[in-house]
Amino acid sequence: MHGVLAALVPLGLTAGQPGPSGSPAREKPPVVLFPAFHFTKLQATIRDQTTAPGCPRSGTFQDWFRNDRPSRFSQVCR
């Protein structure tokens, strides 16, 4: 687990820093890794998302290995 945290920490160090041209670097979305995915459950609460017009703007979903619960959020929207 410590190796995963060590790998994620450097990702946040350059966000907002000036790029080679002197303009601010474009912020990238966070990368989230789930070690032992078979044993990990993710619950996400979405509020007023506008990035994906075909997906619900708000709501909650759970994601885990072989989850068969119905959800308003398709696999693509998750």
Q: How many domains does the chain have?
A: 1
| pLDDT of res. 4 | 44
Task: Kindly state the tokens that stand for 24.
Answer: 């601010």
The residues, any chain, with a CB within 8 Å of residue 14's CB and separated by 6 or more, are 25
Kind plus residue range of the DSSP H or E element containing 7: helix 2-8
Question: pLDDT digit of tens for each residue in the chain (78 aa)?
Answer: 444 444 444 544 444 555 555 656 678 888 877 778 778 888 999 999 999 999 999 999 998 888 888 999 998 898
Domain-embedded: residue 61? yes
Domain-embedded: residue 49? yes
Domain-embedded: residue 41? yes
Amino acid making up residue 57: R
Domain-embedded: residue 26? no
| pLDDT of res. 2 | 45
Domain range spanning residue 40?
Answer: 36-78
